Amino acid sequence: MTVHFPFQNSYSALPDSFFARVAPTPVAAPRLIKLNRPLAVQLGLDPDLLETPEGAEILAGKTVPSGADPIAMAYAGHQFGNFVPQLGDGRAILLGEVIDIDGIRRDIQLKGSGPTPFSRRGDGRAALGPVLREYIVSEAMFALGIPTTRSLAAVVTGEPVIRETVLPGAVLTRVASSHIRVGTFQFFAVRRDTDAIRRLADHVITRHYPDLLHAERPYHALLAGVVARQAELIARWLLVGFIHGVMNTDNSSISGETIDYGPCAFMDAYNPSQVFSSIDEMGRYAYANQPRIGLWNLTRLAECLLPLFSDDQEKAVAEAQDILGAFSETFSNAYQAGLRKKVGLFTERDGDEALIQDLLDAMAKNQADFTLTFRKLGDATVDDSTDVRAQFMEPAAFDEWAARWRARIALEPQTPAERQAAMHAVNPLFIPRNHRVEAVIQAAVNDDDYAPFEELVKVLARPYQDQPEYTAYADPPLPDQRVLQTFCGT
């Protein structure tokens, strides 16, 4: 049987200025190393056929399936604050869209599938390490319940790529609600192509915000919708200790999904100024800066939409500023509500924010592990476990705070077991710890050994559940295992 993708191609039906038509570049000897079978089923695809040699050729870009209309999308972007008027998919090709079993339209894109007109002298390829990193982290984010692009498959190409050294080449099949970014709007705004901006906005409303189709002011409502989704998304990042690492406007999704996992990382010890990305030398995208950068990116989107708001520039700016003004409150509400859940509070009382901030301050001062402190705090509701204290360099710092916390939770009627269950449902035990991800990549790249990769993916699929046979995966790194920098790997 032939592998069948029931493609639709709404984006490639837009004007030619939105993209470049380009086919993937065939590779020598594609070999499937991982297929996300549950996701394949969700997309209405046959996982058994995708695991055949024919399926591997499609997932590597060697064969273009019938119905596909391969394109590289055009976009611009602010990269570390510097505007680049033309970026675009330099190593990714959108094959087409499918309607999944829930009726949701999904892009299927090959990442690392060869050069495009937007490659800017690059080879359009991807190395195996970054492909595995994106697979691991994007699927972990999905399991954590955070909106994200997803990974359908990883394939090695049988061809080397040259970076600082010679590395195995690979292709990631990425699935997204769409790949439309703030930078997509910027591409047309810098060219003063208001018709294209309107066409793109209409497409986004139809695809991602259909409830706005009949809004009195749909473009204002679109900006408000994107602001709300981004504010809530970034709050959820912070609640699990995630650092995106490269929050450029071309990596900011209009749909509200986490996209473009490059030098991303999860914190071990809590540190608000934590940076892992090797290219973020000034700390622009540090952990605690992410809300501010999110608003900065959204302000760039608002600038693009101004011509759709009003012919009166002053009026349009005032209306955009009013919409952007909702970001801080939406973010703060989502973040504070999430923090209350993390410390087991079911109600909101005066003093709660200060209580939680005092814990965070003590964690930062004592280099407490972010993930384990909150997870073990759930256990401390049912016994006087010393596991939380052990996260602090000076355990007395926790004791002082815990006395106030216990007095606060005593004001609520929930039983200790109920509180523990609620806390465990929002505080993961397992995250993609950097040293684990790096070890998996090294085993694959150096030894062609994917067993560690498979096991890590399996553990991270159930982040909130105790998995006694895999307890070591919850451990922070030893001093000699700490990963101090992560890399884009492009």
Which residues participate in catalysis according to the annotation? 250
Which letter, b or e, does each residue of 286-317 get, where b requires 16 or more Cβ atoms within 10 Å of its Cβ? bbebbbbbbbbbbbbbbbbbbbbbbeeeeebe
For the chain, the helix, strand and coil percentages under 3-state DSSP, each to the nearest 5: 45, 15, 40
Report how many helices (DSSP H) and strands (DSSP E) the chain contains, helices first: 16, 12
Instruction: Provide the H-helix boundaries in 4-146.
Output: 37-42, 47-50, 53-60, 128-144
CA atoms of 265 and 286, how far apart (whole Å): 11
Taking alpha carbons only, the member of 200, 234, 201 closest to residue 220 is 201
Contact 93, 171 (CB under 8 A): no
Beta bridge partners of 235: none
Beta bridge partners of 82: 79
**6: Cβ contacts below 8 Å, ≥ 6 apart:** 44, 67, 98, 99
Strand pairing report for 265-266 and 242-243: antiparallel
Half-sphere exposure of 20 (CA within 13 A, CB side): 19
DSSP string covering 353-383, please? HHHHHHHHHHHHHTT-BHHHHHHHHHHTTTS
**121: Cβ contacts below 8 Å, ≥ 6 apart:** none
